[in-house]
Chain A
Amino acid sequence: MIKRHPEPLLWMLFSAGGVVSALLMPILLVLFGLAFPLGWLQPPSYEHLLAVLRNPLTRLVLFGLCMPSLFHWAHRFRHTLYDGLQIKHLNEVIAVICYGGAIVGSAAAAYLLWHVP
């Protein structure tokens, strides 16, 4: 029997986050981070964007992007702190901060996406 260990679950979330962020973030970042602010492209109208956001499917996809991506960050960041700075003795604290952050962030994402008028 396999011992119940959080690692496999965390790794799954990490990987899922890695994939969705790699698929969706580049284009979203190009559009909302550079193309629209710099005026290369006309940003979508408020009505259009709201309509898009109102679609439950969009919200589901966005949640599916945000939550795993946050866990992706949490998992990687935790390991980077361990390995890069050799502060493994702070193991528990770091884990709480990282995964705690991801949980809080996911909750915030759920709240915000739920409350799109």
Chain B
Amino acid sequence: MRDSITLQVARYRPEQESEATFDEHEVPCPKEWVVLDGLNHIKDRIDGTLSYRWSCRMGICGSCGMTVNGEPKLTCATFLSEYGRGPVRVEPLRNFPVIRDLIVDMGDFMRKLVRVKPWIVRQAEKPLSEGEYRQTPEELDDYKQFSMCITCMLCYAACPIYGLDPKFIGPAAIALAQRYNLDSRDEGASERMEVLSEHEGIWGCTFVGECTKVCPKHVDPAGAIQRYKLTAAVESMKSFFMPRGA
């Protein structure tokens, strides 16, 4: 087994340069090291100016997404040894503006998130004294998968449609809207429909399907969008044929 591997790390220092450049470093690669360990090694031992985000190191906080050899990955869950002899090229996530080095701006997503109202909407709230809303395991299963999103943004980085049209509300936000639409406690589906049935909402998606392929949590946003298109289309047909009844 080789004991070191080359990391090519994208740098962008807004105060100094107007284009991204690459730094090359040799880092150790024991079998339990992930790409993030390589970056930490660089920051701690070689070049303290390298900037990137990370926190949990167990694939749950969603902060360490980067482009590794062209693919969007959680760097804390991607072993260096997967890349054989290397080199491993680490870049910021695609489709987002780069703030610095490996850090991208996700403000756009945060604003979109609010628009899909990702919270329980109800006409009348049940008082706490009446206990829980009953929800069977089957009802839980209906939305469970879509509740597993760690907002790591890998799906946005993989979706060419989002890259082409930043107005597209995008995979994770739609999956999250579906998470609440399908929750038996929620009554907000029609409010969310208004936002989502706009052109940039769901119809921008042409089912490239990459979002689902790169999702580390098996959320299947592509499926969520497809399902939602069907629902939206059926709803709209209904209101078309039965304008009053809808």
Contacts and interface: CB of A to CB of B under 8 A. Distances in A.
A–B contact with Cβ pairs below 8 Å: the answer is yes
A96 B239 CA distance: 25
A8 interface: yes
A48 interface: no
A115 interface: no
Interface string A1-35: 11111011101100100000000000000000000
Interface size range on A against B? 10 to 19
Contacts of A79: 206
Given A2-B194, A79-B206, A12 B233 contact: yes
B199 A7 contact: yes
Interface string B230-246: 10110111011000001
A11 B203 contact: yes
B164 interface: yes
B104 interface: no
Contact of B236 (A5, A76, A82): A5
Interface residues of B, number: 22
A11 B233 CA distance: 7
Contact of A8 (B165, B236, B246): B236
A2 B206 contact: no
Q: Which secondary structure characterizes the binding site on chain B? A: helix
Contact of B237 (A1, A8, A82): A8
Contacts of B246: 1-2
Interface in A34-76: 76
A9 B236 contact: yes
Contacts of B232: 2, 8
Given A3-B197, A8-B232, A8-B233, A83 B161 contact: yes
Contacts of A5: 197-199, 236
A83 B206 CA distance: 9
Interface in B151-179: 160-161, 164-165
B89 interface: no
A79 to B, nearest CB: 5
Given A3-B194, A7-B197, A12 B237 contact: yes
B165 A88 contact: yes
A15 B230 CA distance: 9
A33 B240 CA distance: 40
Choose among B190, B229, B236, B237 the residue with the greatest number of A CB atoms under 10 Å from its CB.
B236
B42 interface: no
B165 A7 contact: no
Interface in B208-235: 229-230, 232-233, 235
Contacts of A8: 197, 203, 229, 232-233, 235-237
A37 B92 CA distance: 55
A2 B197 contact: yes
B193 interface: yes
7 contacts: A1-B246, A2-B194, A2-B246, A3-B194, A12-B233, A83-B160, A88-B165
Interface of A: 1-5, 7-9, 11-12, 15, 76, 79-80, 82-83, 86, 88
- Which 6 residue pairs of A and B lie closest in terms of their CB atoms, listed nearest first? A8-B236, A8-B233, A7-B203, A12-B233, A79-B206, A11-B233
